[in-house]
Chain A
Amino acid sequence: GNSVTQMEGPVTLSEEAFLTINCTYTATGYPSLFWYVQYPGEGLQLLLKATKADDKGSNKGFEATYRKETTSFHLEKGSVQVSDSAVYFCALSDVQGAQKLVFGQGTRLTINP
């Protein structure tokens, strides 16, 4: 079945550092790929998405590129801020329709000032 694997956390960085959170997936066909962010005590917010190979999703300084050849969708940001501290989830959508999302286990990111 479809699955998503994220790099294990927690990840701790200093403000203005470069961020990479790795995500790889297993799926039949060509799913859409997503990054969601969950701030403490809140639900999930869609951060960015990509719907086909080589698409780059971007939002709030975060970027991720859909790499079909490596089945990856790594999240990057050039200069993180304390406000980026949260849990980040990589997810894919079921290509069979019905929009079922399959999530990775999440990566907790802490940014120190």
Chain B
Amino acid sequence: DAGVTQSPTHLIKTRGQQVTLRCSPKSGHDTVSWYQQALGQGPQFIFQYYEEEERQRGNFPDRFSGHQFPNYSSELNVNALLLGDSALYLCASSLANSYEQYFGPGTRLTVT
């Protein structure tokens, strides 16, 4: 049974560019959450998707957007990249009414 998978593993972008990160949830899970983890910090909640809609959002600007597909996979898009967007981006999946979230290995984004 495959767990949560994310792609790509690493990414280097330039300020002002746009980036798309991808996540496939654990088999049977229908809810996907995204977190940003800056170096040496705990993860910060970006947003959560359920039934292809954004269900809750953290304190992140509109430059951060997402999408969930009918197969429950998800994308995180970040526009107009800033140096401060450099971080590990984690995807977590769960069942809709469960508190247990399963995390993927993350995508390391470096903005230069």
Q: Which residues of A contact B (CB under 8 A)?
A: 4, 32, 34, 36, 41-46, 49, 51, 89, 91, 93-94, 98-106
- B90 with A44: CB separation less than 8 A: yes
Q: Which B residue sits closest to A51, measured CB to CB? A: B99
User: Which residue from A41, A42, A101, A104 sits with its C-beta under 8 Å from B101?
Assistant: A101
Q: Which residues of B contact A41 (CB under 8 A)?
A: 105
- A105 with B41: CB separation less than 8 A: yes
Interface size on B, residues (CB 8 A): 26
Tell me whether A43 and B42 are in contact in the complex, defined as CB-CB below 8 angstroms, given that A99-B33, A100-B33, A100-B56 are known contacts: no
- B101 with A46: CB separation less than 8 A: yes
User: Which residues, 88 to 106 on B, are CB-close (under 8 Å) to A?
Assistant: 90, 92, 94, 98-106
Chain B 66-107: CB-based contact to A (< 8 A → 1; otherwise 0): 000000000000000000000000101010001111111110
Among all A-B residue pairs, the 7 with the closest Cβ atoms? A103-B42, A98-B56, A43-B103, A44-B103, A43-B105, A32-B99, A93-B99
Complex: how many Å from CA A36 to CA B98? 16
Q: Which residues of A contact B105 (CB under 8 A)?
A: 41-43
Q: Which A residue sits closest to B45, measured CB to CB? A: A100
Q: Which B residue sits closest to A92, measured CB to CB? A: B99
Complex: how many Å from CA A82 to CA B58? 36
Chain B 33-58: CB-based contact to A (< 8 A → 1; otherwise 0): 10100001111110010000001101
B31 within 8 A of A: yes
7 A-B contacts (beta carbon < 8 Å): A34-B99, A98-B55, A98-B56, A99-B94, A99-B98, A101-B33, A101-B45
Q: Which A residue sits closest to B31, measured CB to CB? A: A99
- A45 with B42: CB separation less than 8 A: no
- B100 with A45: CB separation less than 8 A: no
Complex: how many Å from CA A43 to CA B92? 10
B7 to chain A, nearest CB (A): 13
